Structure 1
Amino acid sequence: MQDITDVAKRLVQHNKGKITEVYFVACGGSLVDMYVSDYFIRSESTTITSGWYTANEFVHATPKRLGKNSVVIACSHGGNTPETVEAARIAKAAGAQTVGLTYNDKADLLAVSDYSFLYEWGDETRVHNNPMAIMLELTVGMVNELEGYDHYNTFMEGMKLIDTIVASAEKQVEPRAKAFADAYKDEEMFYVMASGASYGHAYGFSICSLMEMQWLDATAVHTGEFFHGPLEITDENTPFILAMGLGRTRELDERVLKFLKRYAKKIEVVDAKELGLDMIDDSVSEYFNPVLFYSVLSKYRYALSKVHNHDLDVRRYMGKVEY
């Protein structure tokens, strides 16, 4: 795999330090992995704008700003998702620098990527070498190269710690995940909630883990929006999953939890602080929330697959019919 720090420097140096926008383009779970990087730029950069696009929208409604000062980061697990490959082709034709991430060393995406990362995948791989972490480190590196990031060294220290934190958290939640699956095996609808950098993974757990992999109804609700409509569905029979992160928006999550404890009964809280993410400094810990939540909530979806006798790889339509 290419050196992430080196690629960040080369992206910045390519156009004499002129990057005005970064677009994150993918589909499904790969798009979910990009949310935290988009969030980081929106939160921390004073010179770069950011866009988070599902690939087919990027193809059909290409942003007019796209050009030689743009960086487009495209991710596809198999590397051949037609919409994502086409989005990268359009970006390259417009003069943008393109970065492709995939697990497949023969992927079509590589042919339209100026820089590429072949990431690790599987139960025994290192968390900091998964696509979410690679893109986040690359994004932080670009911002640091362009304008400086006061907490860059602290962030890199967090990258050294995240594998240990995740491994410990996974062991901690395994019995809880099994108990959750046993208790909620007959439920058909889940509301998954989070805020800040974590919201993308609430969305991802809903559409990928529950809808795609378990054929369950689910929706993601931002905890900041909960009191502006969604609270009305709250009752003692409705299941909620709350991914409670560390960082500036934790107060939003705590407000929702306080309400749910009063009016709901079926509440599963996955708390980054309880799971050890506070080992990483407060100045950067919020950006590691989704890295932790992905691995931890994967234990929950696995437990659900066992009680449902529904393998996580079983599909009715995806890759089986024309669409």
Structure 2
Amino acid sequence: MDAKTAIKTVMERNGEIRQIYWVACGGSLVDLYPAHCMMMAESMLVESGIYTSREFLLATPKKLGKTSLTVLCSHSGGTKETLDAAELALSRGSAVITMTHAPGSPADSDRWISWVYPWSEDQKTEVIPSGISLSIAAELLAAQEEFSSYDALMEGIRKMDGIVAAAKEKVRAELCDRFAALCQKHDFLYILGSGAAFSQTYGFAICSLMEMQWQHCAYLHSGEYFHGPFEVTEDGVFYFLQKSSGKCRPMDERAEDFLKTHTDTLMVLDALEYGMDAVDPAVRDYLDPVLFYAMNCELRSARGRLFDHDVDYRRYMGKVPY
């Protein structure tokens, strides 16, 4: 499967697309968020909405129908809420694309367009959900309206593999040990970010740290930090800032400037210092999350080694009724 073929099939079946809905749960939802941000920023024609699967079922958008494309992701291929959301979208006449790692799973069905992706360490960005979803959005933009940054985006996706490989070495040398040590010293931390990269601020908190490391933490938007949360800033409180490289960087810089003078425990992961200066500024916003995800994996692994806590260990997920 490739994005150009998928969108061609959608257009042949449904004609013009006026709404695109991105639907998933947890880490899969995180991977769809940058494509949603790109559609909102770049399209004059298509409305974009992003939903956790259960919310899509309970608070279904009225516009869902024959002019819609619903893109869903279930890594396991069996996430019930996501499968139910796919069935709902199909019943309303929406074109449906599912992404899954599991061939032959319920998500991998010939009832809709099914995209089975590989999953292992060091897979190319273009073949995993973060790259696939951006490619789907780019092809939809190119098929219906002008998308001047199409070539820049595709080049950026190709560049991310080399950028990430180099950044992994850099983050291991500069940040991993300190991050793990600070987690040992602090029972709680705040994670800040903005723009499309806010998906990884959210994902780092709820997936990498809360789910995989049982680390208490909270995620904050860098802009919203100054509309309430900054009142609890003080020495002894651990802050971790994901500093993006695109249009929203000024929000992260403002938060960093304040934190430097109001807490003694701040770590900054600056995308520009980790290779994003090699990506066209027009599309950095949408590719920063690819970098941050890879760095988050390195940081959570470092914490896991120090705490002797395997990232695959769970006490509730898949073990008790919920």
TM class by shorter chain equals over 0.9
| Partners of 1:77 and 1:102 within 8 A in 2 | yes
Aligned to 1:129: 127
Q: Which amino acid aligns with 1:239?
A: F
4+ residue runs of structure 1 moved beyond 6 angstroms? none
The 10-residue stretch of structure 1 (300-309 or 186-195) with the greater mean CA deviation from structure 2: 186-195
Measure, in 1, the Cα distance between the counterparts of 2:111 and 2:86: 7
Aligned to 1:114: 112
Aligned to 1:49: 47
Measure, in 2, the Cα distance between the counterparts of 1:188 and 1:5: 47
Measure, in 2, the Cα distance between the counterparts of 1:186 and 1:122: 32
Task: Report the CA distance between 1:178 and its aligned residue.
Answer: 2.0
| Partners of 2:125 and 2:157 within 8 A in 1 | no
| Partners of 2:182 and 2:238 within 8 A in 1 | no
Measure, in 2, the Cα distance between the counterparts of 1:124 and 1:32: 19
| Partners of 1:75 and 1:101 within 8 A in 2 | yes
Give me the TM-score of the superposition, normalised by structure 1.
0.97
Measure, in 2, the Cα distance between the counterparts of 1:191 and 1:10: 44
Task: Report the CA distance between 1:184 and its aligned residue.
Answer: 2.8
Task: Give the alignment of 1:176-255 within 5 angstroms.
Answer: 176-255=175-254
Aligned to 2:154: 156
Give the superposed CA RMSD. 1.2
Task: Give the alignment of 1:1-323 within 5 angstroms.
Answer: 2-16=1-15, 18-111=16-109, 114-175=112-173, 176-323=175-322
Measure, in 1, the Cα distance between the counterparts of 2:267 and 2:279: 24
Measure, in 1, the Cα distance between the counterparts of 2:118 and 2:160: 16
Q: Which amino acid aligns with 2:289?
A: P
Measure, in 2, the Cα distance between the counterparts of 1:128 and 1:292: 13
Secondary structure, counterpart of 1:221 in structure 2: strand
Unaligned runs of 5+ in 2: none
Q: Percent identical across equivalent pairs?
A: 38
| Partners of 1:23 and 1:51 within 8 A in 2 | yes
Task: Report the CA distance between 1:180 and its aligned residue.
Answer: 1.8
Measure, in 2, the Cα distance between the counterparts of 1:249 and 1:112: 40
| Partners of 2:108 and 2:116 within 8 A in 1 | no
Give me the TM-score of the superposition, normalised by structure 2.
0.97
Deviation track 1:57-107 (CA, whole Å, cap 9, x = no partner) reads 111221111101110011011010000000000000111010010100021
